[in-house]
Amino acid sequence: MSTTLENIKQQVSENPILIYMKGTPQLPQCGFSAQTVQALMACGERFAFVNVLDNPDIRAELPKYANWPTFPQLWVNGELVGGCDIVVEMYQNGELETLIKDAASKANAEQAGNA
């Protein structure tokens, strides 16, 4: 049986674009998660998500692993990008879309190479 920390590491490594949030992209359960997921969806690429409200073990362990105390948390290519304020600011200045498109094209290229 894997530990919560192993699950988090696996999720982060297997999903090039991953958001840990309260609720789901279709039904966010907090305003910060809603703003973050809206910015992410506006970039037009697929992404994975984990609802920390359904996963209390991840909700408890991830802030320690990430050294980031709050949710949402956006991870791209295994690196923590940040929370709501950082993601929204990056979206507004155009950085987020570039980061997301690069991560998606890299992931698509790797998948094509493995096919």
Binding-site residues for [2Fe-2S] cluster: 30
Is the alpha carbon torsion for 84, 73, 46, 107 positive or negative?
Answer: positive
Annotated binding site for glutathione: 22, 59, 71, 84-85
Pairing of strands 79-82, 73-76: antiparallel
- Beta-carbon contacts of 3 under 8 Å, excluding residues fewer than 6 positions away, are none
Annotated binding site: 22, 30, 59, 71, 84-85
